[in-house]
Amino acid sequence: MSSSNFTLRQVSYLVAVAEHGTLAAAAATLHVSPSAISVALDELERALGVQLTLRRRAHGVRLTPAGRAAVTRGRRLLRDAGELATSLGGASGVVSVGCYPTLAPVVLAPWIAAVHRRHPDTRVEFVEDDQDHLQRRLLDGELDLAVLYDHGLSADLETERVAANVPYLLVARDHPATDLHAVADEPMVLLDLPPSSDHALAVCRELGVTPRIEHRTRSTEMVRALVGLGLGWSVLAQAVPDHDVRVARVPLPAEPLPVVAAWSRAVTRSPVVQAMLDARP
């Protein structure tokens, strides 16, 4: 069937239902009636000649395999259509960006500010998530860009280096350690958030230390709190605020961990995405 047999409105309703799980929730977001969405989905299924959803009263809406594929392509279609409408007069529109949580304050926040200064009509929508989820969302077309560590990335992603973080030993402020071997017999506090955890343990191995992991946390603030209270040491590559007087950083002879902006090779960079890349501080 030709694309003229369905509309962007129908596609947007399908994507909204996939994101919200029920006709009622999608309808509330779109300010239409659930019956209008149901009719639009019926029309879209007839136009495409395939069943996209399973709709059962009181059980919400489930996507068929064809429906999941249609949602992925539909998101790209809606984004491209929006950029066509908004970017002809310059770098304006919406950029959907994902970011590894520990990189958001130090890399993404200044980047958003730079985009706002150069392109006030561009809006950056961002989400923080772990590296594996961000990669999947890029490849599924849910995100335009993601800020990630260049560690274990899919070959289906294209990258551009934006920064590099140098690993360091984190100890309590009054700890006498001058290298990793000085803490080898003490407990470790591990930032258990791949790839940071993988990289920290690799640094330990390269420097000949087998850590005894006492605590695991997904929060850098919790790492700093535990280390500052003398409950262990850690290896981080993330910046520590200068005002955090609880801890001290000890340089390590380890290679920097590159930080990259990544996007799917299957998606052509739009003008608004390119404008964001060009605005990087």
pLDDT band at 20 (very low <50, low <70, confident <90, very high): confident
Pick the CATH number of 3-84 from 1.10.10.10, 3.40.50.720, 3.40.50.12280, 1.20.120.430: 1.10.10.10
Closest CA to 87 of 52, 45, 130, 121: 121
pLDDT band at 82 (very low <50, low <70, confident <90, very high): low
Tell me the whole-structure pTM to 2 decimals: 0.65
Give the DSSP per-residue string, 27-69: HHHHTS-HHHHHHHHHHHHHHHTS--EEE-TTS-EEE-HHHHH
pLDDT tens readout for residues 134-184? 999 898 888 899 999 998 899 999 999 999 889 999 999 999 999 999 999
CA separation for the pair 137, 100 (Å, rounded): 13
Question: Rounded to the nearest 5°, which phi and psi values hold at 215?
Answer: -135, 145
List the CATH code of the domain at 87-164+259-278.
3.40.190.10
pLDDT tens readout for residues 190-210? 999 888 899 999 999 999 999
Q: What is the pLDDT of residue 89?
A: 46
DSSP state of 124: E
- Report the percent of the chain where pLDDT is more than 70: 93
Better pLDDT: 121 or 161? 161
Helices (H), the chain: 8-20, 23-30, 34-48, 65-86, 109-118, 131-139, 196-206, 220-228, 271-278
Superfamily of chain region 168-255: Periplasmic binding protein-like II (3.40.190.10)
Domains of the chain: which residue ranges?
A: 3-84, 87-164+259-278, 168-255
At residue 3, does pLDDT exceed 50? no
At residue 92, does pLDDT exceed 80? no
